[in-house]
Amino acid sequence: MEDFEWTLHREVKGEGGTALAKRMGVNETRLLDCANPNRENHRMSLELFGQILTHLPDDSRRRVLRALLAEFNYDLVVRPEAAKANPMQALLDLVAESADVTRSVHDALEDGRITSSEKFTIRREIGEVRHALDVLEQSVGKVA
């Protein structure tokens, strides 16, 4: 559960604990203590976890849920949003996202090793490619 706990902590901190706590209507100290795996009382209720997910942006929510599911050898399947792009635009978006993965992996391998933050970045980029692929698939299905 360590990867999940740290992913949740990073996403809460990334959203600015104060701002997130205000949006959620909870005490900032309680939120940060519950989300920090280094704290002795970092136990979180299911209700608080649900509130956090509700108030995180989609990308952050996706990373947290993927990390949780990965602990049990499952993967998150995101239902693609209604395709707003035509197939050509969706294909261009997919190529751009794929290039981001390539760039992230290339940059990470420059020193011959991949750090945990580089792994996090690469996994995030891969998730964005999966999403772009789903959008492409849906946009092709909408073509008459």
Residue 26 DSSP class: S
In degrees rounded to 5, what are phi and psi of residue 72?
-115, 15
Please report, for the chain, the start and end positions of each structural domain, with discontinuous segments joined by +: 2-70, 87-141
| pTM, entire model | 0.55
Contact 59, 66 (CB under 8 A): no
Contact 36, 44 (CB under 8 A): no
Task: Read off the pLDDT of residues 15-54 as tens digits, 9 standing for 90 and up.
Answer: 877 888 888 888 888 888 888 888 776 788 888 888 999 9
Task: Read off the pLDDT of residues 123-143 as tens digits, 9 standing for 90 and up.
Answer: 989 989 998 888 888 888 766
Helix, strand, or coil here: 143? Answer: coil
